[in-house]
Amino acid sequence: MRFKFVSALAAAAMAMAVSPPQAQAQQFINILTGGTSGVYYPLGVAIGKIYGEKIPTVKTQVQATKASVENLNLIEQGRGELAFTLGDSLKAAVDGDEEAGFKKKLGKLRTLAAIYPNYIQIVATADSGIKTLADLKGKTLSVGAPKSGTELNSRAILKAAGMSYNDLGKVEYLPFAESVDLMKNRQLNATLQSAGLGVASLKDLSSSSPINVVAVPKAIVEKIGPPFIAVVIPANTYSGQTADVETAAVVNYLVTSSAVSDDLAYQMTKQIFENLPELVNAHVAGKSIKLESAAAGSPAPLHPGAIRYYKEKGVLK
């Protein structure tokens, strides 16, 4: 009996000797993006690959979602470790704006980085006759998934132009790719898509059908105010778009939770900026991600792990 007890102890000791130390326990990062035809998703896939290869013991998953509002609520609930979001949605979450989709103030949100600007891109089929915002009256418009960042942008743009959903013929609440499919089939006049330049859905539409890119004049952007800024969609961003088009933009952010450790948040931030070419390869919007502006202007506090990285790089003092 004593021999069996000693043998059991020896076996337990050996198991402990070959077990990995607790510090090497696997960490899971769920990356919350948007629809698969938008910009968030390919960038999220690229970030997931970077993290999986560059951060020891990390396992990643990329989740397609309804984007900003859903992402921020999931982060608050502990159901994600990294989320893409628009700046106005992030502000609404911090403020607890119920109309925007936040039943209370979300206190666990922490910013890792400001990334690229989302351009408000209003595109109509050429045969719809829509060339200006006023022309949208009585027409069908897809405004993005309900309570998404895109849909909040749609409300803001129309309000500044003296319009509301009631002025439209019909409102569709659809993801980017589904909106384009309806436009190709002549079942929808126009779509508003808030995304990086060169979004796949609009490239697909413009390559198969004549389009009009509808301007959002600077005066209307200034009427909305921050976090919206006046920008230009350069000529030839889409097939058949031969001139620059004025519009609005909102900065995107990468957000995590206060529950994520400082060390992991540091690595998550560091690996993004030390592997930017991979993000550029994933989508042209990656070209707009700059270290020098990454720590600026977020409505939510920076994560201490991100602060540590930015101080190392001289971005913050």
Q: Report the CATH number at residue 167.
A: 3.40.190.10
198 confidence band (pLDDT: 50, 70, 90): confident
Domain end: 214, 229, 250, which one?
Answer: 250
Same domain (yes/no): 169, 267: no
Domain end: 234, 250, 266, which one?
Answer: 250
Same domain (yes/no): 295, 171: no
15 in any annotated domain = no
Q: Any bridge partners for residue 58, and if so which?
A: 27
Count other Cβ atoms within 10 Å, centred on residue 13: 9
Same domain (yes/no): 183, 301: no
Same domain (yes/no): 74, 88: yes
13 in any annotated domain = no
11 in any annotated domain = no
The pLDDT value given to residue 4 = 46
Task: Check whether the bond before 227 is cis (ω within 30° of 0).
Answer: yes
Listed ranges 16-30, 123-137, 141-155; the one with the highest mean pLDDT: 123-137
* Mean pLDDT taken over the chain: 91
Q: Any bridge partners for residue 86, and if so which?
A: 252
The pLDDT value given to residue 24 = 60
Cα separation, 31 vs 51, whole angstroms: 10
The pLDDT value given to residue 145 = 84
18 in any annotated domain = no
For 145, the enclosing helix (H) or strand (E) is none
Instruction: Say if residues 227 and 68 touch (Cβ distance below 8 Å).
Output: no
Same domain (yes/no): 53, 106: yes
Cα separation, 151 vs 144, whole angstroms: 5
Cβ-based burial of 14 (10 A; exposed 0-12, middle 13-18, buried ≥19): exposed
20 in any annotated domain = no
The 10s digit of each residue's pLDDT in 6-57 is 444 444 444 444 444 445 678 999 999 998 988 899 999 999 999 999 999 9
pLDDT of residue 71 exceeding 80: yes
Same domain (yes/no): 304, 257: yes
- Of the candidates 294, 290, 287, 289, the one whose C-alpha atom is nearest the C-alpha of residue 316 is 294
More confident residue, 140 or 198: 140
- Of the candidates 197, 193, 213, the one whose C-alpha atom is nearest the C-alpha of residue 124 is 213
The pLDDT value given to residue 14 = 43
Strands 82-86 and 170-172: unpaired
Same domain (yes/no): 272, 300: yes
Query: Which residues fall within 8 angstroms of residue 236, CB to CB, at 6 or more apart?
Result: 242
Same domain (yes/no): 109, 228: no
CA 102 to chain CA mean position, Å: 17
Residue 309: phi and psi, rounded to 5, are -65, -45
Mean pLDDT of 156-160: 96
88 in any annotated domain = yes
289 in any annotated domain = yes
146 confidence band (pLDDT: 50, 70, 90): confident
Same domain (yes/no): 90, 202: no
Same domain (yes/no): 152, 217: yes
Domain end: 228, 250, 272, which one?
Answer: 250
Q: Any bridge partners for residue 256, and if so which?
A: 110
* Tally of domains within the chain: 2
Dihedral (CA of 221, 222, 223, 226) sign: positive
The 10s digit of each residue's pLDDT in 259-299 is 999 999 999 999 999 999 999 999 989 999 999 999 988 99
pLDDT of residue 180 exceeding 90: yes
Same domain (yes/no): 105, 122: no
Provide the residue range defining the domain that includes 48.
27-116+252-312
Which amino acid, 309? Answer: Y
The 10s digit of each residue's pLDDT in 232-244 is 999 999 999 999 9
Same domain (yes/no): 87, 144: no
The pLDDT value given to residue 119 = 94
Mean pLDDT of 115-130: 96
List b or e across 98-113, with b for residues whose CB sees 16 or more CB atoms inside 10 angstroms.
eebbbeeebebbbbbb
10 in any annotated domain = no
